Amino acid sequence: MAGKPRLTYCNGRGRMEPVRWLLAAAGVEFEEIFLETREQYEKLIKDGVLMFQQVPLVEIDGMKMVQTRAILSYVAGKYNLYGKDLKERALIDMYVEGITDLMQMILMFPFSPPEAKEKSLDSIKERATNRYFPVFEKVLKQHGQDFLVGNKFSWADVQLIEAILAVEEKIPAVLSGFPQLQAFKIRMSNMPTIKKFLQPGSPRKPPPDERYIETVLKIFKK
């Protein structure tokens, strides 16, 4: 029997958090190694573990996987969260890419200078409410099903609930004009694997704080 997947990253959300979400949603337990020093990171590079000298790193099924998108695709495929055919996969990919664009703004927010915070927050709100959330509101309303694609729980659903909760942390009333997404949030949050991941003490990471930002800059910024 294969061991648990092993995730190597900083002790914070960053580019690893979608991987944690997806594994947790699939009901998969995993181990984590947290980078705390530049030396740990440089050793990984020196040892040839990181294909492009970047983390996240996920060790799974005998592979040392890098590149967040590749990791997520593999996990989604392995645990049957990637649609039933090529067309469903294409739809899931489009939804995921859109959500990832929104999450990229949230990912970079803690690293923006104080004077740019308000403008960044306005941009997140504008994109979420005008570009991204309306797409998913419309999809759920049109097909009247519980899940985004094929009436079956998929990677796209996991990415969307992660994004909704991340945006709500910054803009609590962001879903006020999106009744379908409000209902979707409740449904997803009550799915057993996700409910467990949302409990205190789970591998889910808190919003980035000053310590996390300092650690990231110390390790990755030359």
What is the C-alpha end-to-end distance of the chain, expressed in Å?
41
What was the pLDDT predicted at 221? Answer: 81
How does pLDDT run across 6-57, given as a tens digit for each residue?
Answer: 999 999 999 999 999 999 999 999 999 999 999 999 999 999 999 898 999 9
pTM over 0.75: yes
Domain boundaries, the chain: 6-79+198-220, 86-190
What was the pLDDT predicted at 38? Answer: 93
What was the pLDDT predicted at 158? Answer: 98
Q: In the predicted model, what is the mean pLDDT of residues 80-107?
A: 96
CATH topology (fold) of 86-190:
Glutathione S-transferase Yfyf (Class Pi); Chain A, domain 2 (1.20.1050)
Instruction: Enter the tokens of residue 1.
Output: 């029997």
DSSP 40-70: HHHHHHHTT--TTS-S-EEEETTEEEESHHH
CB distance 45 to 36 below 8 Å: no
For tokens 């694997």, the residue is 193
CATH topology (fold) of 6-79+198-220:
Glutaredoxin (3.40.30)
